[in-house]
Structure 1
């Protein structure tokens, strides 16, 4: 099972971006929008790490280290990007842009998110 370790940062402009040093295109493409930004904000609050969050992601039904996912995204629509229903967070849905293809290789039907909680 492949595990993706992803980091997100809220920059000085108040917008959330995925941290992808190897991204070969314009930085603005990495901006979290349409609910993904709200999900980042929620995760940073849970992790008590304002402006920063780190998650572990799987795209299979397997549990990671025997744990159930903290948040689950289920794809509801696909086109240019994909829309996901969010389970386990106070955000109803989010849209993920084509950067998802660069990171995960596809628009999975299900994305499992595991949080690392800071004390």
Structure 2
């Protein structure tokens, strides 16, 4: 799966993913627990579009699944972004069930590049 996603920052500085097909709680679309730091890292504005895939894409960066989250603690997947633009960033990122909704699974690696 490869798809472009728009992420945007609201007035209070919180980041969200634009995912019109999501019918669950809109708060589930908020990027938190490292995902917001990831977006600050890759963007230079209040909005960024990323190509995201579960397979290698040309000139892409990637984050690696460390472990799945425990259901009683919110589930999701815990990912690690070791490097970005050839710099060590060592960023831990928690991604909620939106990842499973989009990919149908929690991929071992999530590839991304800024558009």
Higher strand share: 2
Which ranges in structure 1 are unaligned for 5 or more consecutive residues? none
> What TM-score does the superposition give when structure 1 sets the normalisation length?
0.81
- Residue pair 1:57, 1:113 contacting (<8 A) in 2 also: yes
| Paired residues for 1:32-111 under 5 Å | 32-45=31-44, 50-60=45-55, 62=56, 64=57, 67-69=58-60, 71-79=61-69, 80-89=75-84, 90=89, 92-111=91-110
- Residue pair 2:38, 2:91 contacting (<8 A) in 1 also: no
Q: For residue 40 of structure 2, give the secondary structure of its aligned residue in structure 1.
A: helix
Displaced runs of 4+ in structure 1, greater than 2 A?
A: 87-91
Task: For 1:106 and 1:25, locate their aligned partners in 2 and report how far apart those are by CA, in whole Å.
Answer: 18
Which ranges in structure 2 are unaligned for 5 or more consecutive residues? 70-74
CA RMSD, Structure 1 to Structure 2 (Å): 1.4
Task: For 1:12 and 1:21, locate their aligned partners in 2 and report how far apart those are by CA, in whole Å.
Answer: 20
Task: For 1:93 and 1:75, locate their aligned partners in 2 and report how far apart those are by CA, in whole Å.
Answer: 10
